[in-house]
Amino acid sequence: MKSRGLLICLVIGLLMVLCIPHFSLAAMRTMDLYELTNGADLIVTGTVTNIESRSEQGIFTFFKIKVKQNIKGAAPQEVIVKVSGGEVNGIGLLVSDMPKFKLGEEVTVFLKKNGDYYIIPGLYQGKYTTINNIIRENNLPLDTFVSQIKANMQKPVPVLDLIK
């Protein structure tokens, strides 16, 4: 009798778990241009010249960007950006908030040094694509966007941001 009651409880519990919608608790905080600017060690415009996925304690993709314009920080001629996800030997990992890059794509990226590579603070929020000298994400001319970034660099950083 006890085992039958236990079985019924297990079945009801399983049905409850399977029937309740699952929602992700992960949420990304929206970053504005000021936060992206001040959170970056380096901001550059350039062209994606190489894309390579590798398995290094997880699957990561490395994007090589040939720097055209250095907006903030001391940029080398090329930077390598590391993001989570990619495909190695037929095994893929898709990370939804990671920026996507295409070979030959013109980009403006907000970068933070992380060992031998750069990462993008704000994930997809820190990568902007330029098409015909217009930033796709906000429909601004590239030079206007760069001017906005430089203006943000001149603003004082709030005291609370210095504590982080």
Q: How far apart are CA 114 and CA 31, in angstroms?
A: 20
pTM: 0.76
Task: State the residue range of the domain holding 129.
Answer: 39-155
- The whole-number pLDDT of residue 15 equals 44
The answer to whether residue 164 sits within a structural domain is no
Asked, for residue 12, whether it belongs to a domain, the answer is no
Residue 58 lies in a domain: yes
Residue 71 in any domain: the answer is yes
DSSP string, 46-78: EEEEEEEEEESSSEEEEEEEEEEEEEES---SE
Residue at 43 is within a domain: yes
| pLDDT value at residue 21 | 46
Residue 36: predicted pLDDT: 85
Number of domains in the chain: 1
The CATH code of the domain that includes 99 is 2.40.50
Task: Kindly state whether residue 137 falls inside one of the protein's structural domains.
Answer: yes
The answer as to whether 24 is a domain residue is no
Q: What's the rounded Cα separation, in Å, for the pair 56 and 164?
A: 29
Q: Helix, strand or coil for residue 84? A: strand
The C-alpha atoms of residue 112 and residue 10 are separated, in whole angstroms, by 49
Mean pLDDT per 10-residue run, the chain (164 residues)? 52 46 52 86 96 90 96 92 90 85 96 92 87 92 91 75 52
Number of H helices, E strands in the chain: 4, 10
- State both tokens at 37: 């600017």
Residue pair 88/112 in contact (Cβ under 8 Å)? The answer is no
Predicted local distance difference test score (pLDDT) of residue 122 = 82
Say if CB 111 and CB 123 are below 8 A apart: no
Within a domain: 136: yes
